[in-house]
Amino acid sequence: MTIHDLVEQHSATLQDAIRANSTREFFAHWPEPPSGKIYGETANADGEAAFKKQLNTSFEGLLQRGATAQVGEEESPWGFSLGVTYRFTPVQTLIEQATNAQRSWQELTARERAAVLIEALERASKRFFEIGYATMHTTGQGFVMAFQSSGPHGFDRALESVALGVTAQETFASNVQWSKPMGKSAVTISKHYRMIPKGVNLVIGCTTFPVWNTTPGMFAGLVTGNSVIVKPHPKAVLPIAIVVAELQHVLQTVGLDPHVVQLAVDSSQKPLTTELLEHPAVRIVDYTGGPTFGAVVQSVAQQTGKIAFTETAGVNCVILDSADNLDAILDNLAFSLCLYSGQMCTAPQNIFIPKQGMMVGGSPVAAAEVKARLIERIDALVNNEKAGPGLLGTIQNPATLSRVDEARALGLPQLRDSGSVVHAGFDGARSASPLVLEATSNQSDIYEREWFGPIAFVIETETFVDAVDRAARSARMHGALSTLVYTTNDGNATLAEEAMVAAGAPIAFNFDSFVWVNQSAAFSDFHGTGANPAGTASFADLQFLTSRFNVVGVRKQAVA
């Protein structure tokens, strides 16, 4: 297998992805249903078996050298320790290996790199079920969501970055005979434009989406010729370790240095993050995680001239104004509140409703009734024995449970209390159904904080305009990764759109079916705008790629 073979083999996939990025039409290279009909009848059982076989053993899939110890501390939120250990590689070794490996990697064309990366994604996709179980038991997501987020959806985000990287690097010709007319003759210069990567690209992962939030930066860094060091959160290593391992094997198979991508596993006791972040060879940093360390990332990057793409936290708002079918929209909203128990950076938190209530099908419905029916719809999902537990999943971090207690202790009126969720077969699962509190509009000191987890506030406002003002102000000051507005009034829709767009926040209207505000689709929805305090990254706009490389010109006087 040569790189040339891979370029041929994956050219249609690349072209499809390039086209989808441009048209923004629906495109998914990997089907999202975790179905035996698609992935093979034994795929689920095989994946689960592979995951179980890995438990309580050392992860041996990586090809990288220089390890000096074993570390591992993953705990399933479903109630057991994974017991997986990983090789620990010191920072200086990681950096040296990354720097060496980058030399030949950056000499490839963008399409050659893309082909190698797509091959790795294809190979790793054979392990979607194993990755799904690894994700379920690190993040606490229900299996279907875990499969989708770390499998097809996360991989489509990777492919999106790869395709956009090719587009960005092919915007300019790489060679030209430049011929300037000079009266009757001409002077000719042979020009060559060389794309050079900025340097080592550090990608710092999070616990809740260890693949989905890592692949965009990781593959953006790689396709533009940088070496990448993936620094997963020590509590969520296994899903991305499998992806890195498959990529290292493909690199070696085509004769490249597998250290083009490395895994920097560390421990809570001895974290590597700051040392990596501050290393002068690291020129690009992708970070997903809490805003406190996000501020450190930004600050170090700013002081040292590094490029930093962050996605930290936002306070996402919903505004209820009017609808044709109240149950349909409340079902959609309730689903968004329940999905993975609010542990998505895009999950709604603050639900504004004008005090005079909503107009539904032309008739007024009192605010109290809207609230009551919203809680009914949440209850219906939580109490759905078949679908509820998988939808809610478990709680990744014990601190999130504490935050539910903290919210409860605020003393606000409870529209719905949080409770534990029965997960059959997982007696030790950590769970919490949504807590819904009522706040008054002047309690912005409470509701304009991010309450990460299954915590929502319903807030009555004077008017729709008042709600829009509050949502826009909140997005501007505290960031937002989503906004959801229900209105059948065109004037109100325009007003909300203008206000939120001006605040740099994305906005969605009237979702009432099988699309939810907390999901963003690769190749079509930009995840994050980079235009508000929720972060500087947008998966994947042009900046996300073009900031990772420079163009250096080489000019040669052509021989007459």
Kindly list the residues in this chain that would bind a second copy in the complex (CB under 8 A). 21-26, 167-168, 171-173, 176, 178-182, 187, 189, 191, 193-194, 196, 198, 298, 302-303, 305, 493, 497, 500-502, 504-515, 521, 524-526, 529-531, 538, 541-543, 546-547, 550-557
Contacts of 35 (CB under 8 A, 6+ apart): none
Residue pair 149/32 in contact by the 8 Å Cβ criterion: no
User: How far apart, in whole angstroms, are the C-alpha atoms of residue 55 and residue 78?
Assistant: 14
Task: Name the minimum Å distance from CB 185 to a second copy.
Answer: 9
Residue pair 430/401 in contact by the 8 Å Cβ criterion: yes
349 or 529: whose CB is closer to a second copy? 529
22 or 56: whose CB is closer to a second copy? 22
320 in helix, strand or coil?
Answer: strand
415 in helix, strand or coil?
Answer: strand
User: How far apart, in whole angstroms, are the C-alpha atoms of residue 256 and residue 102?
Assistant: 10
Task: Name the minimum Å distance from CB 114 to a second copy.
Answer: 17
Task: Name the minimum Å distance from CB 134 to a second copy.
Answer: 27
167 or 441: whose CB is closer to a second copy? 167
Burial 528-547 (b: 16+ CB within 10 A, else e): bbbbbbbbbbbbbeeebbbb
DSSP assigned state of 167 = H
75 or 512: whose CB is closer to a second copy? 512
Classify residue 239 as exposed, middle or buried by CB count within 10 Å of its CB (0-12, 13-18, 19+).
Answer: buried
Dihedral pair phi/psi, residue 262, rounded to 5°: -135, 155
User: How far apart, in whole angstroms, are the C-alpha atoms of residue 431 and residue 402?
Assistant: 12
Dihedral pair phi/psi, residue 269, rounded to 5°: -75, -35
133 or 523: whose CB is closer to a second copy? 523
Residue pair 83/72 in contact by the 8 Å Cβ criterion: yes
Residue pair 471/483 in contact by the 8 Å Cβ criterion: yes
19 or 355: whose CB is closer to a second copy? 19
User: How far apart, in whole angstroms, are the C-alpha atoms of residue 228 and residue 257?
Assistant: 12
Task: Name the minimum Å distance from CB 389 to a second copy.
Answer: 23
State CA 488 to chain mean position distance: 31
List, in sequence order, every residue forming a beta bridge with 539; answer none if it has no partner. 527
Length of the chain: 560
211 or 500: whose CB is closer to a second copy? 500
157 or 231: whose CB is closer to a second copy? 157
Task: Name the minimum Å distance from CB 166 to a second copy.
Answer: 12
292 or 442: whose CB is closer to a second copy? 292
456 or 499: whose CB is closer to a second copy? 499
Task: Name the minimum Å distance from CB 44 to a second copy.
Answer: 20
Task: Name the minimum Å distance from CB 226 to a second copy.
Answer: 13
Task: Name the minimum Å distance from CB 388 to a second copy.
Answer: 21
Task: Name the minimum Å distance from CB 520 to a second copy.
Answer: 8
Q: How far is CA 179 from CA 191, 474, 557, in A?
A: 10, 55, 11
Q: How far is CA 423 from CA 236, 302, 397, 531, 535, in A?
A: 21, 45, 17, 40, 35
Task: Name the minimum Å distance from CB 182 to a second copy.
Answer: 6
User: How far apart, in whole angstroms, are the C-alpha atoms of residue 142 and residue 148?
Assistant: 10
Residue pair 280/254 in contact by the 8 Å Cβ criterion: no
Give CA angle at 188 (182, 189), nearest 5°. 135
124 or 475: whose CB is closer to a second copy? 475
191 or 408: whose CB is closer to a second copy? 191
